[in-house]
Amino acid sequence: MTPTITAFERSPDRGKGLARDMRVRWALEEVGQPYGVRLLSFSEMKEPAHRALHPFGQLPTYEEGDLTLFESGAIVFHIAERHAGLLPDDGNARARAITWMFAALNTVEPPIFDRVIATVLDRDKAWYEQRLLVVEDRIRERLGELSSRLGACLLSRIASVNGWANFPVVLAMPTGLTARSTRATF
């Protein structure tokens, strides 16, 4: 059965990759699974009809017959379990790949997404600029740790496909890190 996902009618970042349907689209394209897309406005995303699919009024969602999923990580994992090619076959290699999937969502993304949230929730506050400095220090520290493990070259590619490259703090990373190994060691 052809699944249907939801995506923004007009992405807040104008389609630069920050909206989370991008990961799901990418996984579906990688495995060659045809899919439908239902476009939503920001206000439709918060209405009861959509909240019945996604309790937090966000996107993407994934509908396939009787099954409705939300959370981009869970949807990508569901696709990876039903199609070959996205996760290794070997048990230990698979567990390591899943570890990095959780790390991307739960350890790397949150400080970066905090910057997005700060630009929405804190922009009108007198302390906005000072808060940005704190947030960007955290991003630098986290991406520095990631780069130490993966190498600056791979980090630059990851940043680029995730839309993080739109942030000056991320753009500044590769230059500062080119002296390090660019060979991934994970």
Please list, in sequence order, all residues whose beta carbon lies within 8 angstroms of the beta carbon of residue 61, skipping any fewer than 6 positions away.
5, 6, 50, 53, 54, 68, 69, 70
Among 13, 149, 176, 181, binds a second copy (CB under 8 A): 149
Q: Which residues pair with 7 in a beta bridge?
A: 39
Report the residue number, 44 or 114, with the smaller CB distance to a second copy.
114
DSSP secondary structure string for all residues of 126-156 = TTHHHHHHHHHHHHHHHHHHHHHHH-HHHHH
Q: Which residues, numbered 35-94, are part of the site for a second copy (CB under 8 A)? A: 51, 55-58, 66-67, 69-71, 73-75, 77-78, 81, 92
Q: Which stretch binds a second copy (CB under 8 A): 26-34, 113-121, 160-168, 170-178?
A: 113-121
Smallest gap from residue 38 Cβ to a second copy (A): 18
Smallest gap from residue 113 Cβ to a second copy (A): 8
Report the residue number, 80 or 165, with the smaller CB distance to a second copy.
80
What sign does the dihedral 108-73-54-30 (CA atoms) show? positive
Smallest gap from residue 11 Cβ to a second copy (A): 19
List residues binding a second copy (CB under 8 A): 51, 55-58, 66-67, 69-71, 73-75, 77-78, 81, 92, 95-96, 98-99, 101-103, 105-107, 109-110, 113-114, 117, 121-122, 125-127, 130-131, 134, 138, 142, 145-146, 148-149, 186
